[in-house]
Structure 1
Amino acid sequence: MGTMPIKFENVGITVSDLEAAIAFFTDLGLSVLGRDTISGEWADTAVGLDGNHAKIAVLQTPDGRGCLELFEYLHPDAIQTNPTQPNEIGMHRVAFSVDDIAEAVEIAARHGFHPLRGVATYGDVYQLTYVRGPSGILVMFAQELNKK
């Protein structure tokens, strides 16, 4: 039996403020591919929520390989939860390779988001950090050291 063709599309994240999340991720260098407001029977069926009504935006990384789909729910009301901790089972974090980790941390700080504990160095391979971003999203920045 052959392997089914499969292609990664995006990571979907529900946010409390779509505009603030777009501002944060576009400041980091992602671009908005599209925006829409979704509702209707097709959306109820696809997502599994009655009366599903949301504003969405799809953002793409500059290399064109990764996308985030951000949702701000209009109905049903979004459910506020405690932000995910790094050791919790489930959706963990969104990670980005950056050329300059200090610049990425500075951009995050302009939006009021800061590293959980600082920037760490993993051997002589990476500098990395976790930032608590919009709507409590964990965002990892990693800068490859000694990049050729």
Structure 2
Amino acid sequence: MAITLENVGIAVRDLEAAISFFTDLGLTVVGRDTVSGEWTETAVGLDGNHAHIAMLQTPDGGGRLELFEYVHPEAIETEPTLPHEIGMHRVAFSVDDLDEALEVAARHGCRPLRGVANYRDVYRLTYLRGPSGILVMLAEELRKD
């Protein structure tokens, strides 16, 4: 059986703010829609499911994020995930310039949780809180062969 990762879905409180954050980091919007009706209730398992969605893609085409903002039922605010909690954890991106990526994130009010780390002189990396409290890892490879 062949398998391919299609996308990672993330519920957000403000779709436009999330799109702005991720497109400023370099992703591209490849589709937008509003979904509702029986098919989406069946697929998602949620009565009255109605959401605005956007599909974003990395420049290499290999990674996709589906962002969705619920119209109905009303979105439930939760505490942001902590790095050591079980469950959906974070979304990670490789960047060619971590400092530039952090400048972009800062324009959206997003800063590293603690700082930038050096992993064995292979990567500089950090975790930050993106829009809607999304945990985002940014990593720059140091050994570029």
Flag structure 1 segments of 5+ consecutive residues without an equivalent: none
Q: Which residue of 66, 86, 90 maps to 2:63?
A: 66
1:79 equivalent in structure 2 = 76
Aligned letter for 2:61? G
Alpha-carbon distance between aligned partners in 1 of 2:65 and 2:103, rounded to the nearest angstrom = 21
- Residue 139 in 1 paired to residue 139 in 2? no
User: Whole-Å Cα distance in 2 between the matches of residues 128 and 39 of structure 1?
Assistant: 39
* Aligned-residue offset at 1:123: 1.0
Identity of aligned residues (%): 76
* Structure 2 unmatched ranges of 5 or more: none
Within-5 A mapping of 1:98-113: 98-113=95-110
TM-score, normalising length: structure 1:
0.97
Is 2:98 the counterpart of 1:116?
no
TM-score normalised according to structure 2 size: 0.99
How many equivalent pairs are there?
145
In structure 2, what is the Cα distance between the partners aligned to 1:123 and 1:88? 25
- Which residue of structure 2 lines up, in the alignment, with residue 22 of structure 1? 19
Are 2:40 and 1:43 aligned?
yes
Tell me by how many angstroms 1:6 deviates: 1.0
Alignment root-mean-square deviation, CA: 0.5
In structure 2, what is the Cα distance between the partners aligned to 1:115 and 1:5?
A: 37
Instruction: Give runs of ≥4 in structure 1 deviating > 2 Å.
Output: none
Distance 1:88 1:5 in 2: 30
Cα displacement (A) at 1:5: 1.2
* Structure 1 residues 28-85: Cα deviation after superposition (integer angstroms, max 9, x where no partner): 0000000000000000000000000000000000010000000000000011000000
Structure 2 residue matching 1:129: 3-state secondary structure = strand
